[in-house]
Amino acid sequence: MALEIERRFLVGGTGWREHILWRQHLCQGYLQASADGVTVRVRLEDGRTEAAQGERAWLTLKATVTAVTRAEFEYAIPVADARQLLGLAAASLSKERYGLDLPGGDWVLDVFEGENSPLVVAEVELEREDQVLALPAWCHREITGLGALSNAALARRPWSCWSEADRQALLADGLCNDSDIS
């Protein structure tokens, strides 16, 4: 078991593009997602990263420990099995993922497709929960721990299904700055 310490942010603008190291297409299906933060996910990756060529697939179980930390059990599975499991998933989503060259942790940025377009979310994996993080200007509202914007929730209730009032309520907090997150 690994512990994943991660913070997430809504993204505005295109300033992140100058930091791209790699990109890949992801299809994710949720076989189980409970209210207490336990998810079982199947992921199919197209393998267009510097480290990987060809398709790869994973079966992952995640469980909430704190708002920032999750227990993660991840296993490589055959691509054919992943395709079958995606067909059984109660909800799914697709996105283009970009690895970014930024200080402070392992940064990725997800550009959601389909019913979750035009949502863009940056994630950074940290070494410690209390790690101080300097945010790029294009990182807007922090959404760490906000269940409605978890990938599992977006698979079940996509961004396009949100009412304008719900979207505006989420975005009303404005930009995050260092005092908001330290």
The DSSP secondary structure of 110-168, one letter per residue, reads: EEE-GGGTT-EEEEEE-SSTT---PPPTTEEEE-TT-GGGSHHHHHHS-GGGS-HHHHH
Q: Angle at the Cα of 157 (from 153 to 161), degrees rounded to 5? A: 145
Q: Which of 9, 16, 30, 138 is catalytic?
A: 30
Contact in structure between 146 and 154 (CB atoms under 8 Å): no
Phi-psi region of 128 (alpha: psi -120 to 50; beta: other; left: phi over 0): beta
Q: Is 98 a catalytic residue?
A: no
Using the structure block, give the residue that is written with the tokens 């060809």.
54
Q: Which residues are identified as catalytic?
A: 30
